[in-house]
Amino acid sequence: MLVLLLIVGIISATTGRTSGGSESGAFTVCKKFVTDRLRSPGSAKFPSAIDDGVIVSGLAENRYAVSAYVDSQNGFGALVRTRFSCIVAWQSGAEYKLEDLQIKN
């Protein structure tokens, strides 16, 4: 069993693919980072799952790039769609570190 885990770890390292975290975990944590920066966080509506409007890419070294959108109220109460991109690095368990966040108004 240990030999199998070592082989999988070596293959992951040589292909440059992520070996920790998950796409859904990265999307979830990026939503949290975006919500924290909204004028009206209680009005935030994200896509319910990874679909046509959401792109999550696994990067090297346990990192993920997320591109998606959120519908939320602006300062005047109007509902607006805002695109965002986020790069997070998986640390352990459900813990991710924010590396970059761009919110496009």
pLDDT bucket at 12, cuts 50 / 70 / 90? very low
Q: What is the pLDDT of residue 44?
A: 97
Measure the CA–CA gap between 86 and 89, rounded to whole angstroms. Answer: 10
Measure the CA–CA gap between 10 and 48, rounded to whole angstroms. Answer: 35
Residue at 92: amino acid letter? S
Q: What share of the chain is helix, strand, coil (3-state, %, to 5)?
A: 30, 40, 30
- pLDDT above 90 as % of the chain: 73
Closest CA to 97 of 84, 105, 87, 82: 87
For the segment 41-62, the average pLDDT, to the nearest whole number, is 89
Q: What is the pLDDT of residue 15?
A: 34
For the segment 39-64, the average pLDDT, to the nearest whole number, is 90
Give the mean pLDDT of the chain. 83
List of domains in the chain = 18-104 (3.10.450)
Cα of 62 vs its chain's centroid, Å: 12
Say yes or no to pLDDT of 92 above 70: yes
Query: Tens digit of pLDDT for each residue in 17-43?
Result: 445 899 999 999 999 999 999 999 999
